[in-house]
Amino acid sequence: MAANFLFTSESVTEGHPDKIADQISDGILDAILAKDKKGRVACETFVTVGLVVVGGEITTKAYVDINGTVRDIIKDIGYTKREFGFTYDTCAILNSIGSQSPDIAQGVDTGGAGDQGLMTGYACRETKELMPLPIMLAHKLTKRLAICRKKNILPYLGPDGKSQVTIEYIDGQPARVDTIVVSTQHNEAILNRTGKKITSKARDEIIEKVIVPIIPKNMLDKRTKYHVNPTGKFVIGGPISDAGVTGRKIIVDTYGGMASHGGGAFSGKDPTKVDRSACYMARYIAKNVVASGLADKCTLQVAYAIGLADPVSLMVFSDGTNKVSEKRIAQLIRKHFDLTPAGIIKALDLRRPIYRKTAAYGHFGRTEKGFTWERTDKAKLLAKDA
């Protein structure tokens, strides 16, 4: 990558239609795992005007109130007011869930991968979370939007919203914030006399209450550009303005475009699905490699074949920041990490109802309890063995 460049990442709030879908899928997964740790779940959700469709394949001995779970999640997100055109208590819910194919099950039951595919993990030294700076700032902005809405700091905000952060890199390192974009749903109370734009007062309040508390002051300068609701207004949002589908925000979910992506989505999938669990393991390994000092950046790719336990390939790329050879790092990974689906589930304790909270604001770089793949407990071991 060039030494000097601009790089942009985006995030979306929990009330964005795609994230509503992700949270419903993972909420259903959690409800099943809470009663049946070995339940098989591949749950997809579609949300649109006045309607939620839940489908996919679920095999479990547990009973879960799907409709009740869906409504509770939508209510918790904040779709409780008629003014935003979509509410938890009035939307229709269509349940079209079947069971997992026995052809797939016979490979998974023996400990094999639930699908083929390639998965990527990444870590770098740009933040204390060992994540790229653009995506971390973008997530923090959307989280701040939700806080300002739920705590009534900005009472006119709605659940839907987006952020985007552009960082200028100099000599390969983040130097300054070039552009900040915040688009947030709101009610009509902050529109100006034309009814086509929010007032300058509201714009300044959003900058003051949302952006200023999040972006480090030393990263801002006179050239930093701020775009707040750049279309003018954002009254009509959520599912009445845009359909949402599970798994459509895979770059938001991972590294903001800084690392490659295998293409598999996460939400609604139980941990036997390696396109989720192996990505978590790859992040865990990459973070430990960087924390150990073996490299300042680490991209790890693993690939699986359906029904087979061991990965068919493993690749380490450190972008020239490695202190020992990438071949040696790969050897250490093979030695100290079990990359079989069963080994991943055991190492990261993945048969728990922990997934709904992963479904908004990113699956990686999280500091909350339960994100076991964010531990750096093997960093010292890797450094010593190297």
Catalytic residue numbers read 16, 18-19, 44, 57, 162, 234, 242-243, 248-249, 269, 273, 275
Instruction: Quote the CA–CA distance of 258 and 267 in Å, as a whole number.
Output: 21
DSSP-assigned letters across all residues of 302-321: EEE-BT-SS-SEEEEE-TT-
CA 43 to chain centre: 17
Instruction: Quote the CA–CA distance of 144 and 138 in Å, as a whole number.
Output: 10
**Sheet (strand 40-48) strand order:** 92-98, 51-59, 40-48, 244-245
Return the beta strands (E) in the chain as ranges: 5-12, 40-48, 51-59, 92-98, 117-124, 157-170, 173-186, 225-228, 244-245, 297-304, 313-317
For residue 327, give Cα distances in angstroms to 277, 294, 334. Answer: 24, 12, 11
* Size of the chain, expressed as the number of residues it contains: 386
- Per the DSSP assignment, residues forming a β-bridge with 93 are 52
Nearest CA among 224, 152, 221, 227 for reference residue 184: 227
Instruction: Quote the CA–CA distance of 138 and 166 in Å, as a whole number.
Output: 9
Find all residues with CB under 8 Å of 325, minimum gap 6, and list them: none
- Per the DSSP assignment, residues forming a β-bridge with 209 are none
- Per the DSSP assignment, residues forming a β-bridge with 248 are none
309 within 8 A of 114, measured Cβ to Cβ: no
* Radius of gyration, CA atoms only, the chain: 22
Structure tokens at 124: 């770098």
Q: Which amino acid is at 175?
A: A
Neighbours of 150 (CB within 10 A): 12
